[in-house]
Structure 1
């Protein structure tokens, strides 16, 4: 399934629900840029390799490029989200439920941003869609468990591989550079960390951008009366639309989240920041090209924890990390319930 820009605009003009879904999805993308994307460059800021504002500008640019470039080669993550739930055969009811899912994601994400909590917009998206789809269909038959399992695989990968790679990379660098002059090594890792941080932001754009593009494509299909086609092809105009809005969100928000992820959890040296960013980039690449929707926040945070633990366990402020894990765990039932209840409300008017 591929859609021309003219067809998309015509759908917006003819269906108020499609217009609502589009505006809400753009809002979600902007919130995602403000809450998730800053985590990509958190370590760059916490180790003082870059000041917050230039780092956020770098993240915005890399988000744009990552979404655009990677999506030209693969749409695996978008396909997973597209097929993860079934909103049923009533296209107007499905559109109403889809709009409800977007409302749930915005409410959850905005609350997290306000309180400076590094919650995952990816987890919110999955939870909101699932809750709204269950309301639309009236049972758990709305869930495509084969695709939903990729979410579970992604959580496991981002937790264990992120932590393990962070720990291993930090230990390896410390061993290889133990005799290197400290000033010279710090200069190398200063630039290496900036490049690695840009890599995390690049892959964040690819991962999260595809998730939200799938929402646009689902809305277009439902407006056209096509239901949920088996496959989809992402048009370039849609890549640009999502990339611009994600970059905008990154540019206008995020310093609170940066502080919580990297500054409060563990004090990092320059080489440790490089190790965390490199590990997160590699994990995100693996997940993106295998179609596993993962959270950039989750991946980066576990990588930071692994790096801190490689030095000594006491280097990590485990209570901060535990509080973050609690937030991730609460996101699925919390945002899912909001999506379900909002969809039930919206469906009363369809």
Structure 2
């Protein structure tokens, strides 16, 4: 009898301990989001303190400190939202784990921002508002401040809602809205805005087209060949060489050009030489990796995993070079205006400003990025390593061209456009094969139109939602920025 009582007591104790463990688990899950918020606040405070130390001897340093705080806040939001579009395809194709993608993106984003991020910043800071239309430097400073605050708030809201909006749209819309509120429609450089708006339309179309072209090449040259492995041994090294060559040419133009003056022709020669060298190295590696693989599509995924990782790293580098302007462009303009009392002429980007942007993007990705990474990687269309490689490489090439030209294009539009391009090409290709099959076999059973719509490979609901979010971003950010500027002017001017 005592043993029975002891057994009952132990069972009761086990149940109680299990309840306590469930409470601890629930508490841990509830407090987990607070950890990210706490780290983010710590980074924002450090950014403000850094600005105080490095800019504290100047007059009106409180303005710069506040700008550094909001610049850090914006950089965190860029990492949480925009970088998901770069790493989503690799994670969705299971070529990278979430932790591996975050580590690679953090390193490459920081390198791109610090090595090659300066050229685009000047477009954001002084290419949208016409200096001749805003005579008062203080008004210009508050306009930049309003642009920072409004764009950061909008991107933060979109991230919470799970919408991959363009941070470039947000910042440019914020700068435009503040400029209109400050000095009317004439304050905006509409010629520059027209060029930027054209790039917004061109970039997703170009990204999708390049991704579809690469996928068509892979299908024709590898997937639909009788001996898939032998075809992959020929073409996978070529694709790797293309990727490495583009990266080398871009890095020589954007990174080495700050040390040694390099022309476009020399950069292309460097890219060609590096591409050839990478082909020589990749060919035996792919041959060894393909030994023993079965002649089927599943085996090809193994061969494309490494190229996909490299292409994702390239895209992150290009994103860091291009989109760091969104975080630090207005901040750099404020620092320059405070130092020199004017905002005309070329803005020199302080190193500490670039560091805030680079580290903020990395922290935002690490703390808040996984949600949108999963959405982009798996909820728009089904991706495998071949398709994801096409998306990443096409997006990288498009972003590199845009950054080289100094256009603040949206990496969100480019990357998501690449995903849609792959998906729509698959739909077109499937329809084409179905038509060809029906012509070859007229007596075959035809699929009803309703069933064909159900089998669409791109989720139309996500397509419409994303496009709607893209359309509303600029006017929403502009309206918020105008209201914030009016509030700042009423309070401090």
1:45 aligns with 2:88: no
Partner of 2:158: 112
Partner of 1:80: 123
TM-score, normalised with respect to structure 2: 0.66
Partner of 1:199: 314
Partner of 1:163: 208
- The 1:173–1:222 alpha-carbon spacing in structure 2 relative to 1, beyond 3 Å, is same
Partner of 1:189: 304
Deviation at 1:158, TM superposition (A): 1.2
Q: How far apart, CA to CA, are the structure 1 residues paired with 2:387 and 2:90?
A: 10
Work out which of the residue numbers 87, 95, 103 in structure 2 matches 1:57. Answer: 103
Partner of 2:487: 345
Answer yes or no: is the 8 Å Cα contact 2:207–2:395 preserved in 1: yes
1:148 aligns with 2:193: yes
Q: How far apart, CA to CA, are the structure 2 residues paired with 1:225 and 1:133?
A: 21
- The 1:276–1:12 alpha-carbon spacing in structure 2 relative to 1, beyond 3 Å, is farther
- The 1:268–1:132 alpha-carbon spacing in structure 2 relative to 1, beyond 3 Å, is same
Deviation at 1:308, TM superposition (A): 1.1
Q: How far apart, CA to CA, are the structure 1 residues paired with 2:460 and 2:214?
A: 20
Partner of 1:32: 78
Deviation at 1:222, TM superposition (A): 2.1
Deviation at 1:326, TM superposition (A): 0.5
Partner of 2:398: 283
Work out which of the residue numbers 188, 196, 220 in structure 2 matches 1:175. Answer: 220
1:218 aligns with 2:333: yes
Runs of 4+ in 1 over 4 A off after TM superposition: 5-8
Gaps of 5+ in 2: 1-50, 229-294, 429-455
Q: How far apart, CA to CA, are the structure 1 residues paired with 2:141 and 2:128?
A: 16
Give the structure, 1 or 2, with the largest relative contact order (CA under 8 Å, sep 6 or more): 1
Partner of 1:308: 423
Partner of 1:294: 409
Deviation at 1:112, TM superposition (A): 0.6
What is the RMSD computed on CA atoms of the aligned residues? 1.9
1:70 aligns with 2:124: no
Deviation at 1:310, TM superposition (A): 1.6
Work out which of the residue numbers 322, 333, 336 in structure 1 matches 2:475. Answer: 333
TM-score, normalised with respect to structure 1: 0.92
Deviations 1:110-142, CA, capped at 9 Å, x for gaps: 1111111111111101101110111111x1111
1:95 aligns with 2:141: yes
Gaps of 5+ in 1: none
1:233 aligns with 2:348: yes
Deviation at 1:18, TM superposition (A): 2.3
Partner of 2:4: none
Answer yes or no: is the 8 Å Cα contact 2:328–2:353 preserved in 1: yes
Q: How far apart, CA to CA, are the structure 2 residues paired with 1:233 and 1:91?
A: 17
Partner of 2:19: none
* Residue correspondences, number: 342
Quick check: 226-235 or 24-33, which moved more? 226-235
- Higher gyration radius (CA): 2
Secondary structure, counterpart of 1:348 in structure 2 = helix
Answer yes or no: is the 8 Å Cα contact 1:8–1:220 preserved in 2: no
